[in-house]
Structure 1
Amino acid sequence: MAAMNFLQAAEFIRNDLRLKTLPVAVNFLREKAALPEKTRQPSVALGKRVTICQGVTMARVYGWTVGLTQEDLICVPAMILFGFTDVPDQSATLARLFCDVHFISSPEKALSETGGMHRLANGEFEALLLTPLAKSPNVPDTVVLYGNPAQVMRLAQAYSYIAGERTPGQFGGKVECADYLIAPFKTGKPRVVIPGMGDRIFSMTQDDEMVFALPGKDLEILLQGLHEAGDKIGARYPVTFYQNFQPEFPKYYKTLGKELGIF
């Protein structure tokens, strides 16, 4: 999709689904020097180090263009998976942390879980660029959409309409930023994600919010699906309530209704 159409795409998605927050474009940059001019880096703009999910919130709520490098980040597990440390074994290091905080019951199970988590190699990318989709200067590597379960359902319908396949998801309740940012980029497939504790504690993700994330290359698929999926039965968001039925009332209402000649 040409960059000039990102504004139209973002506005259509947000209006069609009545999203509360902005669609976010994500780019993984080999060099931090590639960050666009006027990008806000929290360590500079705010004088603070933040979590990756906070950067996502700044983009989707404030509408900021946010750049995250090693100097901007403070979330240890996310920095491990995003390759912003020099640990020799990402899986083992993260597994040790999961055991230490009792997120898992044994070292063996911890390694089994962390070994299957999506990650970037150490030093593979120097920066993460998070931009409102409407202002994206590049074709996104990943597009991230926060919504309630019904909105995410509609996104899954839209994707499967063209792709002919269901949307996968892995749910662990921790370090989920890797699943909605890295996984679509690495696998070339969309994801449905339940945000983890970091999202809820640090980035103010609400209890009714889920994530649908997809590779930027599939944005056209999503748009066509939102236009056409289920149009023969009026499928849309908000879902239309069925009203073609006659309600039943408790017996006391019926008794009074008979007295009044209603029944």
Structure 2
Amino acid sequence: MRDMESLQTTVTKLNSVLEIERKIIGVKFLFEKSEYEAADAKPLTNKCPYCVMVKSAMAGVSIKASLEQFGCRGAINALGMVIPDELSKSGRSALQLGLYQDIVVAKSARNDMTFCNHITYGVMLKPLEKFTDEPDIVIMVTNSYNAMRIIQGYSYMFGTQKNFKIGGNQAICSECTAYPFENNDINISTLCSGTRFWCAWSKNDLAIGIPYNKLEDVVEGVLHTVNATEPLSEKLRIGKKLKENNITDLEVDYDKSYYCNYLKK
């Protein structure tokens, strides 16, 4: 288990380098009823879409929910709250919603979606800095610039992620939670129409799901690509924030960037 003090430092580093307007949140699967009851978060009392739970956690609220509180059929399937029924597995439910042109495409798309291969009692969601034990998945909803920087940080540490899974449907539950959990890898999502309606995300927002076990490395990658990737205006802001937060891991080079230094003479 990682040191929780290290988690706090990781969150501080990322918020020093990037301007992320919402809280970075953690998601933890609670497989047993006793684990759910002991979880340090407020239980929901009404049905709610999973993506709304995510947005609430990004506003600072600590939440836990069992099957009875889930208001979205797609999420309960994707997160392993129930065993998907034949309507879902055949692709017929998505076809009935008008998302695909025929049953063959719908079935193919359904086969390519990631669904958690487990049955869980519930989930807990809260801002990352409020966790006292390790979450399973970390989720951010942010602008495309920050998404680029997160991916650059990942690439710095691990190389290219060659298996992004983006379908424009079931964005928060499947693409940003189930996929990172089942594949132990980062994923990016353009969000979907459902979550954009229920959560009123900006048209410029993207979502990112990261296994918690990779977060510290990704943030170190973001930190160590500042000098190569950021323009002077951002470096001035970053340098000030690093100093304010007593982060000494990086000496900002205000005269360096890969796209200026490697221009053909």
Does residue 1:71 correspond to 2:72, yes or no? no
> Which residue identity lines up with residue 57 of structure 1 in the other structure?
K
Q: Give unmatched runs, 5+ long, in structure 1.
A: 245-263
Does residue 1:150 correspond to 2:148, yes or no? no
Change (3 A) 1:90 1:68: farther
Change (3 A) 1:179 1:32: farther
1:212-240 CA deviation, whole Å, 9 max, x = no partner? 22111111211211221152464689489
Q: Compute the displacement of 1:89 (Å).
A: 3.8
Question: For residues 222 and 105 of structure 2, what CA distance do their matches in structure 1 show?
Answer: 40
Change (3 A) 1:142 1:167: farther
* 2-11 or 21-30, larger mean C-alpha shift: 2-11
> For the Cα contact (< 8 Å) 1:195–1:210, is it kept in 2?
yes
Q: Compute the displacement of 1:83 (Å).
A: 2.5
Partner residue of 1:104 out of 97, 100, 111: 100
RMSD value, Cα: 2.4
Change (3 A) 1:156 1:87: closer
Structure with higher Rg: it is 1
> For the Cα contact (< 8 Å) 1:174–1:197, is it kept in 2?
yes
Q: Give unmatched runs, 5+ long, in structure 2.
A: 237-256, 261-265
Partner of residue 246, structure 2: none
Partner of residue 17, structure 2: 16
> Which residue identity lines up with residue 195 of structure 1 in the other structure?
L
> For the Cα contact (< 8 Å) 2:144–2:204, is it kept in 1?
yes
> For the Cα contact (< 8 Å) 2:169–2:193, is it kept in 1?
yes
> For the Cα contact (< 8 Å) 2:82–2:119, is it kept in 1?
no
> For the Cα contact (< 8 Å) 1:229–1:235, is it kept in 2?
no
Q: TM-score, length-normalised on structure 1?
A: 0.81
> For the Cα contact (< 8 Å) 2:83–2:119, is it kept in 1?
no
> For the Cα contact (< 8 Å) 2:87–2:93, is it kept in 1?
no
Does residue 1:195 correspond to 2:182, yes or no? no
Equivalent residues in 2 for 1:69-218 (5 A)? Answer: 69-89=66-86, 91-92=88-89, 95-121=91-117, 124-166=119-161, 168-177=163-172, 178-218=174-214
> For the Cα contact (< 8 Å) 1:53–1:199, is it kept in 2?
yes
> Which residue identity lines up with residue 76 of structure 1 in the other structure?
R
Question: For residues 33 and 87 of structure 2, what CA distance do their matches in structure 1 show?
Answer: 22
For 2:42, what is the secondary structure of its paired residue?
coil
Partner of residue 252, structure 1: none
> Which residue identity lines up with residue 5 of structure 2 in the other structure?
M
> For the Cα contact (< 8 Å) 2:150–2:218, is it kept in 1?
yes
Aligned length: 235
> For the Cα contact (< 8 Å) 1:10–1:134, is it kept in 2?
yes
Partner residue of 2:57 out of 46, 56, 59: 59
Partner of residue 247, structure 1: none
> For the Cα contact (< 8 Å) 2:29–2:120, is it kept in 1?
yes
Q: Compute the displacement of 1:30 (Å).
A: 1.0
> For the Cα contact (< 8 Å) 2:51–2:199, is it kept in 1?
yes
Question: For residues 90 and 81 of structure 1, what CA distance do their matches in structure 2 show?
Answer: 14
Q: Compute the displacement of 1:157 (Å).
A: 0.5
Question: For residues 143 and 63 of structure 2, what CA distance do their matches in structure 1 show?
Answer: 24
Partner of residue 7, structure 1: 8
Q: Compute the displacement of 1:16 (Å).
A: 1.5
